[in-house]
């Protein structure tokens, strides 16, 4: 396997964060290769709709067959019985 050296310059003031990171690496070349590969290989975006579907299906499966008491039953007027504060907190997770 042939090797090729590539050099570049860093400014000690504006690139101090990079220099600090490099100094903390056990193997600079390997660390730089990993970071560069991560930057050029696109990471798939999270599909929030798909995640919600999976969570919904898992919750429905888990809750299926549970006996509801009168206090647990959804309102008869078509309301979901969902706690708006808890629903908002769950939405914040996504």
How does pLDDT run across 37-93, given as a tens digit for each residue? 988 987 777 888 888 898 988 888 888 777 666 565 555 555 556 778 888 887 887
Q: What is the pTM of this model?
A: 0.44
**Domains of the chain by residue range:** 1-43, 45-66+82-94
User: Within 13 Å of residue 71, how many CA atoms lie on the same side as its CB?
Assistant: 0
Is residue 19 within 8 Å of 10, Cβ to Cβ?
A: yes
Tens of pLDDT, residues 11-26: 999 999 999 999 999 9
């Amino acid at each position: 396997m042939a090797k090729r050296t590539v050099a570049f310059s860093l400014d000690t003031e504006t690139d101090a964060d990079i220099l600090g990171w490099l100094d903390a690496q056990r193997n600079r070349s390997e660390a730089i290769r990993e970071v560069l590969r991560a930057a050029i290989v696109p990471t798939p975006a999270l599909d929030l709709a798909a995640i919600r579907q999976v969570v919904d299906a898992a919750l429905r499966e888990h809750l299926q067959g549970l006996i509801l008491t009168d206090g647990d039953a959804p309102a008869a007027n078509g309301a979901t019985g969902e706690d708006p504060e808890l629903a908002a907190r769950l939405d914040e997770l996504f």
